[in-house]
Structure 1
Amino acid sequence: MQLPDPSSTRHPGPAPYLRIATEEAFAPPEMLEIYRRILSGANVDPGFRGLMGFYMSSPSERAQHIMRCLTDMDALRLKHMDDCGVDMQVLALTSPGVQVMDKATAVSFARIANDYLADAIRRHPTRFAGMIAVAPQDPQAAAKEIERGVSQLGMNAVVINSHTQGEYLSDTKFWDIFAAAEAHDAPIYLHPNSLPPGMYEPFMEAGLDGAIYGFGVETGLHALRIITAGVFDRFPKLRLILGHMGEALPFWAYRLDYMHRATVKSQRYDSVKPLRRQPSDYLRENVYITNSGVAWEPAIKFSQDFLGADRVLYAMDYPYQHAVDEVIALDGMTMSPEHKKRFFQTNAETVFKIPPR
């Protein structure tokens, strides 16, 4: 497999479709100040310290680039988009968002972050769309913020950065969030977070705790917990979005189905009960995936074949992954013009309710 060259100075040419990137991060400067206060305190979560503690303090070129780009919502971001031929970004509050904060701060700052994003969208309405940040620490407040985000701010999706201080949405105490998302037809983008304490050490000691592997393992686990807890049986119209080629779950589908049947039959776990459908059915019918961070034609084509061409979306993962040559490589995929336009443009317009141009 030949990887695109991130150092290339080439630029993507015109295309018969818009390139809408659907997992692009931002951070209000005020949120970074809250992070600094958390990092200066006692008993800091090791995953948070290892991830944001590093990026916020490292002099490395990569860390400086990421922090500079996260906080820019105007000239620099737009220039990078133009350089890559990206017409629009669907923006989400960077991980861990408000989920590392105490409950009161998280609820308050989620509103601030959403207003901050809505203001950027008003400044650049043809370049930005957004996802609603919520505080799972208070599920009822999160449900109200989803309603406000859809009805008042014009955003049509929700971002949740995987676990919230080690707790997962498969716990029924969080299900008011699912009810609100389903009621407002707002898909939930389940985005990676740094690993919780119970998972962190074995990954960290091998340097595998971040995007290289740990993020996908933990977020894939979270999505599976949601499926096996019966969330989609309770909320059949709920939609979930997973990045990074579905955190590899489409590639596990056969074994997930087989072993879920076997586990239910064995009666080994009280937590594993029969579902109305197979795990792979929920992936096909309730889940969309983006290719964020995976500019690899075979994986994209497999996922289109498995999920359907209308369920696989383009994403770059800016600014954590910002490579012009990846766009050029994806433009060059051997794919029907109809499927390529769905991948880059029309699927995003449908999922995020972006008015066609």
Structure 2
Amino acid sequence: MKKITLEEHFISPEYAQHVRDLQSKGAGPGLPAEFEELLADPVMRKGIEAVEARLIDVGEGRLAAMDACGIDVQVLSLSALTFPAIQGENDAQQAVDMARQANDYLAEQIHRHPDRFAGFAALPLQAPVAAVEELERAVTQLGFVGALINGHTNGAYLDERKYWGIWERAEQLGVPIYLHPADSPGDQMKIYQGYPGLRSATWNWTVETATHALRIICSGIFDAFPRVIMLLGHMGEALPYVLKRIDDGWGGTPQSKQLQHLPSYYIKNNVMITTSANCSPEALSCALLAVGADHLLFSTDYPYASMERTTRFVETAPISEMDREKIFHVNAERLLKLP
């Protein structure tokens, strides 16, 4: 069975060095003190270095791993976990330059293996007009199939009016926007003090990304641009489980009159969900019941999650073969217009 996977990360050697240079000068985004202590552990450091090596490998090693799992195509996107990626830049022009460089680098890798790789663009959100221009360039000139955005940009969220041009252009181009997790900004992280294990993928990213998605939904963006699609990973960032509760709460507020529909309508019509790194049968069942098999797509979250485990999970899930085909490749081919 053909397999296309959508949340797969890379980083260029040039950008990795750029981030190291910034951090060595104390100019780049740093890690919380709790994480600095964890990374001082030799075992943790070795694991991080192994992930970095897999991020940089957009060649034979990655292809061999894909072949071992029967994965035909990876849709690649610039990583923001080990490194802060474009949205970690403080200087807007630097962000514009680095986004262009990263996208050009990815286009070169796709050109080497056009039957195995596709691309989501990195966008310089610090400069909204330039971000729209880069999205158009990436799709129309580089052949990319959408964009992946790593949460907020210095506290600015994608529902803000300055970013509506990105959604409008994505709709015009017929490509999705993948909303990828990031840490909450500033003081909002205080709730995790003393509990570093609750940060990142354990809990913070889910809460932060689900809230960001709801801001986008409740802003009216999907009323203004009804054909645009937002992708959410990790089986929908817990939103499928609470659709009715969200509708009940939102429906009783004055703000609800600003939208044409309840939030669940947009989640079922303007959002598509990937399976990235969430190997839970219960979560899969919930997502299928909430949004249907036509809105689920396969992802492994490589190299942060096991490609073998995430692939095997969908291969053996107790679902119909028709639904399995949709998740593994049919929906991706339709959404991304892949052969």
TM-score where L is the length of structure 2: 0.92
Partners of 2:6 and 2:286 in 1: CA distance: 20
Three-state SS of the structure 1 residue aligned to 2:7 is: strand
Deviations 1:83-136 (A, max 9, x none): 222221111111142011121111111111111111111111111111011111
2:139 counterpart letter in structure 1? V
Deviation digits for residues 179-203 of structure 1 (CA, Å, limit 9, x no counterpart): 1111111110000123311222322
Deviations along 1:11-48, whole A, 9 cap, x unmatched? xxxxxx21211100001111112212332344754568
Higher helix share: 2
The CA deviation string for residues 218-261 of structure 1, in whole angstroms up to 9 with x for no partner, is 11111111111111112111110000111111111011101001
> Per-residue displacement from partner, 1:146-197 (whole Å, max 9, x unpaired)?
1111111111211111100111011101111111111111110000123311
Equivalent residue, structure 2, for 1:99: 87
Question: Given that residues 81 and 87 in structure 1 are in contact (C-alpha distance below 8 angstroms), is that contact kept between their aligned partners in structure 2?
Answer: yes
Aligned-partner SS, 1:133: coil
2:297 aligns with 313
Note the residue ranges of structure 2 that are not aligned, 5 or more in a row: none
Superposition CA RMSD, Å: 2.2
Cα distance change, pair 50–317 in 1 and its aligned pair in 2 (3 A): farther
1:276 aligned onto 2:265: no
Residue 305 of structure 1, CA deviation: 2.2
In structure 2, C-alpha distance between the alignment counterparts of 1:48 and 1:184, rounded to whole Å: 39
Match of 1:165 among 148, 154, 157: 154
Letter in 2 for 1:186: V
Q: How many residues align?
A: 333
- Check the 8 A contact 2:22/2:28 in 1, yes or no: yes
Q: 1:79 to 1:237 in 2, by over 3 A?
A: same
The residue that corresponds to 1:178 in the other structure is 167
Q: Quickly say closer, same or farther: Cα 1:325–1:112, change in 2 above 3 A.
A: same
Identity of aligned residues (%): 38
How far off its partner does 1:53 sit?
11
Residue 26 in structure 1 maps to residue 14 in structure 2:
no
2:310 alignment partner, one of 323, 326, 329: 326
Structure 1 counterpart SS, 2:9: strand
Counterpart of 1:226 in structure 2 is: 216
Structure 2 SS opposite 1:23: strand
In 2, distance between residues paired with 1:64 and 1:47? 16
Q: What CA distance in whole angstroms lies between the structure 1 residues aligned with 2:56 and 2:218?
A: 37
Aligned partner (choices 198, 206, 211) of residue 187 of structure 2: 198
Q: Which residue of 43, 47, 56 maps to 1:62? A: 47
In structure 2, the residue matched to 1:303 is 287
Unmatched 5+ stretches in structure 1: 1-16, 265-270
Tell me the secondary structure at the aligned position of residue 279 of structure 2.
Answer: coil
1:262 paired to 2:225: no
* Distance verdict in 2 for CA 1:333–1:200, change over 3 Å: same
Higher relative contact order at CA 8 Å, sep ≥6: structure 1 or structure 2? 1
Runs of 4+ off more than 4 Å: 41-59
